[in-house]
Structure 1
Amino acid sequence: MPRRTVFLSGPAGSGKTTVLRLSHAEKLAVWGRTAAIDCDQLFLMVDPHWDLPYDDARTALVLRQCVQLAETFFGADYENVLIAGNAIHDAVDLNPVLPDLLRLSRVFHLSLDPSEEAVLRRTAADPDRSPAHLMNDLRLLRTKRSPWSVPLDNSALSPLETLQKIAHLIRSGAGEIHGPLPDS
């Protein structure tokens, strides 16, 4: 069985974390042994209150940790590693880690792209989520989406259906990365 690393990007409220939090049994039934790495959890290790401004060096550190975790999971016979986060949509950030990941596995990139209504519906119960900020984030990431990332509108999909769709797209080869990404 081939090993696969899937970068899953998307704005806040798009469902990345919810997909990562599906049970082991659900992931196993859909796609085989699948580990999940949430980049936000790694960022929180150094900036627990999100006080620091964006920093390329910190992003590079987090992505390097993702590679090391992926290598550990593959060494423990996991077939798939999902790496999700807001900061994994840029070739400048991903290119330094791609050679190591490509040595370990096939690599793919997908971007969750739900409707504005779906994002607002999913985050309505969270008082810490500003609707204006969420919409700005959604629009910004849409303008930054690269042609090498496969968009996935998961507005009407449950988290499990989203994982099923991701698995289907990856099995078909959609979003596969074979080498350095062009800057867009």
Structure 2
Amino acid sequence: MPRTIFLSGPAGSGKTSILRLSHDEKLAIWGRTAAIDTDQLFLMVDPHWDLPYDDARTALVLRQCVSLAESFFGADYENVLIAGNSIHDAIDLNPVIPDLLRLGRVFHLSLDPTEEAVLRRTSADPDRSPAHLINDLHNLRAKRSPWSAPVDNSSLSPLQTLQQIARVVEAGEGELREPLPDQAAGERSTN
């Protein structure tokens, strides 16, 4: 049965590195696996990240993810990874979960590396503020819901992280079978 895997995590957690693994690497670990980077979809309408957070834009991006996932499954892909910073709350995910469940199984995982791992991974990028990265890590960790399966990838390469994600999903952890319980009022995701 096809699987959609939402992969959340703070900046510097390794989401993009996992998505950029080669087709052959993904195939060897987990079968035909497509990758959708929500940042790339957001950049289509906000190429400089100038706009403030907007529910309607997030909903548009997630609707596009559903359409892409349906296309990949129609082309015999077994797994679709959807990764991004803004896919960790029920308010944003609930509108698309029923449509994805009609396509197959749905999972939510959160990458949860240590502060040291995030800083190590981003040390060569002068545009990333260490203080901002650590703040993002703590904010997302505090917002992580019990329905999301955590994956500590602090000491794992992107390939090893994908292997761990496959094990977690195969074990049924983080599976979403229906829309999620609402979070506390006022909690909002940010790009």
What residue number does 2:161 align with? Answer: 162
Per-residue deviation at 1:181? 0.2
Instruction: Measure the CA separation in 2 of the matches of 1:172 and 1:146.
Output: 19
Identity %: 81
CA apart distance, 1:153: 0.5
Distance 1:23 1:109 in 2: 22
Query: Aligned residue for 1:80?
Result: 79
SS of the residue aligned with 1:53? coil
Q: Provide TM-score, normalisation by structure 2.
A: 0.95
Distance 2:54 2:140 in 1: 18
Alignment coverage as a number of residue pairs: 183
Shift of 1:113: 0.3
- SS of the aligned residue for 1:147 comes to coil
Cα deviations by residue, 1:71-120 (Å, 9 ceiling, x for unpaired): 00000000000000000000000000001000001000000000000000
Which aligned pairs between 1:1-184 and structure 2 lie closer than 5 A? Answer: 2-184=1-183
Could you list the runs of 5+ residues in structure 2 that have no partner in the other structure? 184-191
Distance apart, 1:19 and its partner CA: 0.2
Residues 48-79 of structure 1, C-alpha deviation per residue, up to 9 Å, x if partnerless?
00000011110000000000000000000000
Taking structure 1 as the reference length, the TM-score comes to 0.99
1:51 alignment partner, SS class: coil
Counterpart secondary structure, 2:11: coil
Structure 1: gaps spanning 5 or more residues? none
4+ long deviations beyond 3 Å: none
- Structure 2 residue identity aligned to 1:44: L
CA distance in 1, matches of 2:122, 2:50: 22
RMSD: 0.5
Aligned counterparts of 2:104 and 2:161: Cα–Cα separation in 1 = 22
Shift of 1:183: 1.6
SS at match of 2:126: coil
